[in-house]
Structure 1
């Protein structure tokens, strides 16, 4: 599988989650207008949405791994977007996350750079433009999330890379403390999300580990769950079978029982163990554990 197809399928994971919702949960037919294409940098690997200029219209940001930048597309409110300016990030940006990192009420960007082994933080100006990136060291990071992980009201960063999650607690001014690593018990993490998975009011982490079925070595992927202690530290990871090559994970109550569930997008594999992509749903037990996955063809 080429880097291009991996990047495109990561973005397509957003749409795979629609297939994971049971038919009974849909009250009306879902349809789409003809697609519109908008130019960004080279090999976009991840996309995030927010209102970057405060006009009430959703905007987009893409992490472009081969052009080493981030594209920001301001929305017109009708599904179309203005031409995208590019923002300099680190080397090989793989993921972009949005949060109010310096607590000024304006969305900021955190970009995971696998090539330069750091995270670029770009503080927003509130008009759709951003300040120059500031880098914080995180080895080989491939996925990013922004959330308050220790309950101090300051956004922190959770960065997935090389079998671990690195947590950088925030100072509340756009800077961060040194990273602390927690093992994920997975190979090649591609996506990370933050949610309360066991109902204790503390943020937990779910990580999609793609494995290496598409390369020599044939290591299957999984989903790692790290329950939070509420102080920015996490318990030992538990792993769950989310399919052959989990590329993205999202959290929602998919069956209406009040418990968070996991939706996982798998982009399949090639070679001797070739398998098609699919979407997996792991229903939650409410204690941070999950039932066996149900799979849906996409």
Structure 2
């Protein structure tokens, strides 16, 4: 009985060694790529983040949406991997996305913040001194907005917005200049849109939109070709 057990054990051991050709090799250590050396406090439940040189001092800055307390955190970069203390700005209810573009065509990057709960978009103008001021402009893209991007979709030199909506639509808000926008125009898609990106995918110098689809309807990626 013992011989049978031992024989079975050695058969299993031999099979395991044969099936694991790397078992005798010394695995190389993963190179150290990052080190955590600077941690910053934000508002409650940070949900989205972008980085740009907003104050044009040559250093990268950060803007974070905080959905838990309806705020933005703005961190000015010091240029050595550290950032100044956050500047806090109020938003609408449950901010879930922020994008940046020069919405009033003064050469400085502004902000557009998408608020999930009150289904609005707030516009913040860059003061030219590295700070932002919330304007009175409030956009209403429709029910249950999910995500947002910015780009000059109609090639008029004014930046526009595109917002994914839960019920199989992407809303396009064409810019009018001075941070104002036309009423949203819906484009139907074949599923529930979630993520959205912008790029010139067919190299015709016209912006296209890529939309990830999930939930009800088709799942996958749908491309909206710019014309």
Is the pair's TM-score, using the shorter chain for normalization, greater than 0.5?
A: yes
Preserved contact between residue 143 and residue 192 of structure 1 (Cα < 8 Å): yes
CA-to-aligned-CA distance 1:31-59 (integer Å, 9 cap, x gap): 22324221111111111111111111000
Normalised to the residue count of structure 1, the TM-score between the two structures is: 0.61
For 1:168 and 1:77, the matched residues in 2 are separated by 35
Is 1:136 aligned with 2:147? Answer: no
Is 1:205 aligned with 2:203? Answer: no
CA-to-aligned-CA distance 1:148-185 (integer Å, 9 cap, x gap): 11010001111112132111111121100000011232
Instruction: Provide runs of 4+ in structure 1 moved above 6 Å.
Output: none
> Which structure shows the higher strand fraction?
2
Preserved contact between residue 52 and residue 127 of structure 1 (Cα < 8 Å): no
Preserved contact between residue 155 and residue 169 of structure 1 (Cα < 8 Å): yes
Which residue, out of 145, 148, 152, partners 2:152? 148
Question: Counterpart of 1:165?
Answer: 170
Structure 2 residue ranges without an equivalent (≥5): 1-30
Number of aligned pairs? 194
Structure 1 residue ranges without an equivalent (≥5): 1-28, 230-298
Question: Counterpart of 1:7?
Answer: none
How far residue 82 of structure 1 moved from its aligned partner, in angstroms, is: 1.1
How far residue 221 of structure 1 moved from its aligned partner, in angstroms, is: 4.7
Question: Counterpart of 2:223?
Answer: 225
How far residue 112 of structure 1 moved from its aligned partner, in angstroms, is: 1.1
Normalised to the residue count of structure 2, the TM-score between the two structures is: 0.79
Describe how 1:106-145 pairs up with structure 2 within 5 A. Answer: 106-133=108-135, 134-139=137-142, 140-145=144-149
CA-to-aligned-CA distance 1:2-45 (integer Å, 9 cap, x gap): xxxxxxxxxxxxxxxxxxxxxxxxxxx78223242211111111
Root-mean-square deviation over aligned CA pairs = 1.9
Which entry has the higher C-alpha Rg, 1 or 2?
2
Question: Counterpart of 2:60?
Answer: 58
For 1:188 and 1:35, the matched residues in 2 are separated by 37
Question: Counterpart of 1:182?
Answer: 187
Change in Cα spacing, 1:150 to 1:47, as seen in structure 2 (3 Å) is same
